[in-house]
Amino acid sequence: MKELKVRETVNRQAVYEPTSYCEEWSPWSDDAVSDELVQKLMPIATLRSYGKGALIPLERVNDNLYLLLAGTVEVSLMSEAGRKRILALHEERTFIDDALLSEGSSVVMVTCLTKAEFAILDRAKLTRLAYQDPTIFDCILKSVLYKLQGLTQHLVDQTFNEVEDRIINLLSSFAKSHGRSVDNGIRIEKPLTHEFIAEMVGSTRVRVTQSIKSLQTKGRLTKAGKYYTLC
């Protein structure tokens, strides 16, 4: 596990200071867009709500950009053979531009993990507005670069790291924004199942279960229910 620096805030929440650009990325992103920018986009937006468990029909050819206003969604790839790979988890004020990755034999799926509300932005209207206010272009560009950074981390993990290292890297990324200091390490304040971790790191549930047991034996990880602590 790469050494991570941790500093304590007043409310005892652990803040991770990344040691490389790849560690800046977390598969669980939130608050990527400011309230001010959201207000700028509202006049050209079509609002749409979806219930928990709904699948969002994002199509690459529809020329729309989706901005998540409320809720949490999972973005995943599904192969023709039915194999699933989670790309990201997004919370409110995040652009769902992952749909631009959908090509070939895989399909991008967006699943609502909670009730969710979207602002749907027509590309032509968005382009005209962005020419009037370049900060909109700047925000969209940063969002795209953020996604590319995440894909780079996935590629690094898949190419060079074994499953145990992928799991530790994944949990470390979650700990940056959802970690809390406890007596024996950093507790991740999100419930994580073996199946979910397998879909994130590109492995099988059985292999992930074996790897987690190994990490616990080595003293690198503890678990209470669905909550993990990095030791």
- C-alpha angle with apex 102: 123 to 46, nearest 5 degrees? 30
Question: Is residue 103 domain-shared with residue 184, that is, in the same domain?
Answer: no
For residue 155, what are the contacts with CB-CB under 8 A and spacing of at least 6? none
**CATH code for the domain in which residue 199 is found:** 1.10.10.10
**CATH code for the domain in which residue 87 is found:** 2.60.120.10
Question: Is residue 11 domain-shared with residue 44, that is, in the same domain?
Answer: no
pLDDT tops 90 at residue 62 = no
Task: Record the pTM.
Answer: 0.71
pLDDT of residue 167: 92
pLDDT digits (tens, 9 = 90+) for 134-182: 999 888 888 878 777 777 777 788 888 899 999 998 898 888 878 899 9
Q: How far is CA 26 from CA 154, 207, 212, in A?
A: 11, 23, 20
CA-CA distance, 96 to 143, in Å (whole number)?
9
Split into its structural domains, the chain has a count of 2
Domain annotation covers residue 144: no
CA-CA distance, 92 to 119, in Å (whole number)?
11
Q: Do 59 and 120 contact (CB within 8 A), yes or no?
A: no
Q: Do 168 and 206 contact (CB within 8 A), yes or no?
A: no
Question: Is residue 36 domain-shared with residue 127, that is, in the same domain?
Answer: yes
Least confident of 109-123, 135-149, 189-203: 135-149
Which domain, by its residues, includes 61?
31-135
Q: Do 14 and 179 contact (CB within 8 A), yes or no?
A: yes
Domain annotation covers residue 17: yes
Give the domain-ending residue among 135, 170, 199: 135
Question: Is residue 224 domain-shared with residue 187, that is, in the same domain?
Answer: yes
Question: Is residue 184 domain-shared with residue 125, that is, in the same domain?
Answer: no
pLDDT digits (tens, 9 = 90+) for 72-109: 998 888 777 777 888 888 888 888 875 455 555 567 78
Quickly list H helices, the chain: 35-41, 123-132, 134-160, 163-178, 194-201, 205-217
Question: Is residue 38 domain-shared with residue 120, that is, in the same domain?
Answer: yes
pLDDT of residue 85: 82
Provide the β-strand partners of residue 8: 14
Question: Is residue 190 domain-shared with residue 226, that is, in the same domain?
Answer: yes
Question: Is residue 39 domain-shared with residue 61, that is, in the same domain?
Answer: yes
Question: Is residue 78 domain-shared with residue 92, that is, in the same domain?
Answer: yes
Domain annotation covers residue 146: no
Question: Is residue 120 domain-shared with residue 81, that is, in the same domain?
Answer: yes
Domain annotation covers residue 140: no
Residue of 177, 231, 187 lying closest to 18 (CA atoms): 177
